[in-house]
Amino acid sequence: MATFLYKLGRLAFRRRHFVALIWVALLTLAGVGAASAPAAGNTSFSIPGTEAQKAFDLLEQRFPGASADGATARVVFKAPAGQKMTDAGNKATVNKTVKELAGGSEVASVADPYTGHAVSKDGTIAYASVKYKVSGMELEDSSRTALEDAADDARKAGLTVEIGGDALNAAPETGATEVIGIAIAAVVLVITFGSLLAAGLPLLTAIIGVGIGVSTVTALASALDLGTTTSTLASMIGLAVGIDYALFIVSRYRAELAEGRTREDAAGRAVGTAGSAVVFAGLTVVIALVGLSVVNIPMLTKMGIAAAGTVVIAVLIALTMIPALLGYAGRRVKPAGEKSKLLGGGRAAKKPARPNMGTRWASFVVRRPVAVLLLGVVGLGAAAVPAASLELGLPDDGSQPVSTTQRRAYDLLSEGFGPGFNGPLMVVVDAKDSARPKTAFTEVSDEIKGLKDVVTVTPPQPNKAGDTATITVVPNSKPSSTTTEDLVHAIRGAGGDIKAKTDAEILVTGSTAMNIDVSQKLNDALVPYLALVVGLAFLLLIVVFRSILVPLKAALGFLLSVLAALGAVVAVFQWGWLSGLMGVEQTGPVMSMMPIFMVGVVFGLAMDYEVFLVTRMREAYVHGEKATQAVVTGFRHGARVVTAAAVIMIAVFSGFIGSSEAMIKMIGFGLAIAVFFDAFVVRMAIVPAVLALLGRRAWWLPAWLDRALPNVDVEGEGLREKDADEDRELVPA
C-alpha cells in the first residue's frame, strides 16, 4: 500500500498539470450537470415493511385516483379581532379563495370549510384542505406559487392566513454560521502550518471535492429522488473530511521536507504514509455510511450513499490533487518548523527548549494512566446520562421555526381545534374477506370511540366496491407525543379482536403513524447496524494495526463518545438546556434517524483520529521503541495535527447549527459534540491511558492470524527498506 501510494504521489507531483486538469474538468462537468438538472424537491417517503406503508399501498389499489400519497396543504384562516369566520364578508373571502385554489391543474380536491365542518367552535378559525394529485417531490413550482398567491389575496382582505402541510416545504437555510465554520477552519490551518499558502491547500481541495460531490448529487437529485437534505449532509461531511485528509498529507509533507528530502520525494512519502492512513480512515467512513442501507429506509440509504460518494472524492483528491498543488507551490510551502515571510519573516524557527504540548501531555498520561482513564470514562458516562431519557420521533410542522408559515398554521390549528388536529390518524379497514363489510366498519368505528385520547372519529368512508373504508381519528394530544403513539398501538391492538369477529383487517396510517413506524423500524435496526459496521471496521483495523486489543479499544471508545453525544442531544433538543443559545425554538422528541445516523457518521470519523494517531504509535513501535515511548512519540508527531483536524471538523459541523431545518440543526450539533468527545476525551486521553496500561500486550496478534492477514504496510516499512537499499548502494565496495 505505502509503496503504491508513494509512486502515485510522485506521479501526481510530476504530472501536476494533467492531474489539475482532470479535477477541474470533473468540477466543470458536475457544475454543468447541476445547473441544467431539474431542482430537487422533497424526497418521497416510502418505508417498506411497515403497517403505515402497507395501508398506503392498499389505498392506492382500493381507492384508485385518490392520490393517497399526494401532497396536502391546509390553508388556515383566522378572523380579525371581534369578528368570526362565519361573518358574511369573511365567508365570501374564504369561498373566493377555495374557488381560486380549486383551479390548479395538479389539485385533486379542495374541501370547503363551511360544508366540511372545518370551523372552530368559537368561530374564529377555519381551514380549507387542499389535496394534490402528485407527491410533494413531484409538485410543480407553479402549484406552490398559486397556493401562496391565493393566501396573499385572502390576507389583503383582512384575514390572517397561514399554510401548513407538505406542499410548501422550502429548502433549508444554513445561515452565516456555515461560513463562520469555514473561516475558523482557515484560522486553525494558518496557526497549524504557520503559512497562508500551506493552510489554503486543504481548504481549496476540500471545496473542490465538495463542489464535485454536491453538484453530482444535485444533478442526479430529480432522477434518483434525492431530497434537499441529501446534498446538505453530503457537503457537511465532505467538507469536514476533505479538510482533515488534506491536512494530514500536507503536514506529513512538511515533516519529510524537514528531514532533508527533495520535494518530489517528500510528496511521495507523504502520500505513501499519511495517505495510507487516509485510505483506511476513508474506508471506515464509507463502510459506516453505506451500511445505513441495512435499515431499509430508502431516504436514509440515499443520504448515506451520497455522503459516502463525497468522502471517496475527498480521499482521491487528497491522494492526487494535494501532491499536484504542492508541486505548483514549490518552495513557498516551508518545511516543518519554518514560517512564511508574512507570519515569521521566512526565518527558521528556533528549536523549542522543551518538548511540545503533545509530548508533555502524553508523558503525563503514561505516568498517570489509571487516573486519566477513570476521569475520562466517568466524564463521558455523566454526559451520557440524559440518553437514558431518549424519546424518538420525526419532526413535523410543530418543530419548524415560528417565522415559517407552516409553524404558524400548526399553532392556529392547535388553538382552534386542539393539538391532535395537526396529526390525524387514518384507519383503513380492509373488509374484503368479511361477509358483513358494513358491520365491520361500524364495529371498528365504535371500538375506536371507546379508546382513550380520542377526540373525533369520522364516519367510515367506503370505496365504490364497498370492501374497504377509511376512518379519520383525531387524537387529543399532539402528533409527536407518547400519548398519541400509545393510541396508535391501542387501535392496532384492537384490530386482533375485530378480525376474529368480522374477518376485517385494521391498518393505521397517516403521517403520524408513519413517523411512529419509522421510529420503531430505526430502533429495531440499530443493534444489527451497529454490529455490522463495528464488526467490519474492527476487521479492517486488525489489518491496519495488526493487533486485537487496539481495534477493540477503538470500538469501545467510540461507544462511549457516541452515547455521551446522544446525551448532549437529549439535554439540548429534548430537555431544552441551552436551547436559546442553539436556536432551538421547540423542544420535543429527538429525530428518529439521529441515533443510527450518528452511529454511522461518528464511527467513521472517530476511526479517522484513531488511524492517524495510532499508526504513528505503531510506526514507532515496529521500528524498535518501547510500547510506552511509542505512545509519546505518536503524540509528538500527531497530537498537534489531530487537534487541528478535530477543531476544524467541529467548526464545520457547528456551522450547520444555524440551519432553519430542525433535522440539519440537530445533526450539526450532534456531530460537533461527538467529535469533541471522541477527539479530546477518547483519543487524546483514554486511548493513551489504555495503551500505557496494556504495554506490549496492546500490539499482540496470534501468529496464525499474523500469517493469514495481508500486509498493507500503513507504516511505510517498504519505504524504509527502500532507503536502506539505496544507502547500501552508496557505500563503496
- If DSSP states are collapsed to H, E and C, what string results for 261-316? CCHHHHHHHHHHHHHHHHHHHHHHHHHHHHHHHHHCCHHHHHHHHHHHHHHHHHHH
Residues 6+ apart with CB under 8 A from 83: 90, 124
Closest alpha carbon to 661 in 280, 335, 172: 172
DSSP character string of 435-503: S-HHHHHHHHHHHHHTSTTEEEEPPPEE-TTSSEEEEEEEESS-TTSHHHHHHHHHHHHHHHHHHHHH-
C-alpha–C-alpha distance, residues 14 and 5, integer Å = 14
Closest alpha carbon to 655 in 186, 34, 22: 186
The one-letter code for the residue type at 150 is: A
C-alpha–C-alpha distance, residues 714 and 503, integer Å = 64
Closest alpha carbon to 646 in 618, 681, 616: 681
Burial annotation 88-99 (CB, 10 A radius, 16+ → b, else e): eebbebbeebbe
CA distances from 638 to 340, 352, 433, 525, 721 (A): 22, 17, 69, 36, 23
Residues 6+ apart with CB under 8 A from 519: 392, 393, 394, 592
Beta-bridged to residue 445, according to DSSP, are none
What confidence score (pLDDT) does residue 337 get? 66
CB 441 within 8 A of CB 449: no
What confidence score (pLDDT) does residue 197 get? 78
C-alpha–C-alpha distance, residues 573 and 167, integer Å = 26
Overall residue count recorded for the chain in this entry:
733
C-alpha–C-alpha distance, residues 661 and 14, integer Å = 46
What DSSP element (H or E) covers 223?
Answer: helix 196-224
Q: In Å, how far from its chain's centre is CA 585? A: 21
CB 252 within 8 A of CB 269: yes
- The 8-class DSSP code of residue 119 comes to B
What confidence score (pLDDT) does residue 49 get? 78
Residues 6+ apart with CB under 8 A from 151: 75, 97, 161, 162, 163, 405
Q: Quick one: cell of 244?
A: 482533515
Burial annotation 149-175 (CB, 10 A radius, 16+ → b, else e): ebbeebeeeebebbbbbbbbbeebebb
Q: What is the pTM (predicted TM-score) of this model?
A: 0.76
Residues 6+ apart with CB under 8 A from 518: 47, 50, 297, 394, 592, 593
Residue 394 φ/ψ, nearest 5 degrees: -115, 145
What confidence score (pLDDT) does residue 338 get? 67
Beta-bridged to residue 426, according to DSSP, are 472, 509
Per-residue pLDDT of 563-621, as tens digits, reads 999 999 999 988 888 877 777 767 777 887 788 878 877 777 777 778 778 887 887 88
Q: Quick one: cell of 553?
A: 479499544
What confidence score (pLDDT) does residue 29 get? 92
Beta-bridged to residue 461, according to DSSP, are 470
C-alpha–C-alpha distance, residues 660 and 170, integer Å = 10
Closest alpha carbon to 544 in 185, 281, 251, 329: 281
C-alpha–C-alpha distance, residues 330 and 529, integer Å = 46
C-alpha–C-alpha distance, residues 532 and 135, integer Å = 34
What DSSP element (H or E) covers 7?
Answer: helix 2-14
Burial annotation 337-372 (CB, 10 A radius, 16+ → b, else e): ebbbeeeeeeeeeeeeeeeeebbebbbebbeebeeb
Q: Quick one: cell of 66?
A: 385518490
The list of the chain residues with pLDDT below 70 reads 38-46, 65-69, 135-138, 169-178, 181, 194, 222-229, 337-353, 395, 399, 585, 660, 713-733
Q: Quick one: cell of 689?
A: 491511558
